[in-house]
Amino acid sequence: MRVHFLQHVPYEGLGSLQDWLQRGDHQVTATRLYAGDGLPRPDALDLLIVMGGPMGVYDEADHPWLIAEKRFLDAVLAGRARMLGICLGAQLLAERLGARVLTGGEMEIGWFPVQRSPAAADTALAAALPETFMAFHWHGDSFELPAGAVHLGRSEACANQGFLHEGRILGLQYHLEMTPAGAQDLIDCHRDQLGCGPFSQTETQLLAAEAHFNEANRLMAQLMDAFTATNPEEV
């Protein structure tokens, strides 16, 4: 499978997705937008992964490459490739599908449970996700559900934690791919956001739960297996 990923900042990479990709027979390429890398042909990939970042979907003035990225996403959406968006990536996909991205919400930072939605039970992804699971979160913005998308889950702080559109476009507000090293990088870059509200944990709380990282990474691999194993119409 031809896999391409878009990275918005140096410290938000693939995390445990790197391990999943290495286990498969995949050709992996990347565009590091912050470094000025070019984008591939939209029809030259089978799976596009759009990672997270601290900027918002509306920050084109500060990050002009967002304009080209959005045009690229539109072109991929018009094709048949699978697309996975994580955090900012999910917000970008939701926006390009016509949904609103909501700003100014409560920061959700740390390990909080996600409840799988009843609608998710009718998709092939249901077997990959428990009814309730712990996920790593780091966001303030969130998205509305795109028209026609299946709602996948919610948390106490965020009503829309995931969506599936046309069986091939998967948006996850949370980070199942997060590793301890990745969490430490986020902490080092955005320490001022910790403990700032009822859903913002401390550094100790973020890093102490090794079992949470292991289980989240296992779920990430399980979810990717389910997402890529079937025809989009069957997902």
pLDDT tens digit sequence for 173-195:
999 999 999 999 999 999 999 98
> Quick one: pLDDT at residue 132?
98
For residue range 134-165, list pLDDT tens digits in order: 999 999 999 999 999 999 999 999 999 999 99
| Residue 105: per-residue pLDDT | 80
pTM more than 0.85: yes
Q: Where are the alpha helices (DSSP H) in the chain?
A: 17-23, 65-77, 88-96, 180-189, 203-208, 210-229
Closest CA to 135 of 163, 162, 107, 111: 111
Q: Which residues of 9-44 are buried (b: 16+ CB within 10 A; e: fewer)?
A: bebbbbbbbeebbeeeeeebebbebeeeeebbebee
Residue 221 has pLDDT above 90, yes or no: yes
Give the chain's domains with CATH numbers: 2-234 (3.40.50.880)
User: pLDDT tens, 72-121?
Assistant: 999 999 999 999 999 999 999 999 999 999 997 889 999 999 999 999 99
59 band by pLDDT with thresholds 50, 70 and 90: very high
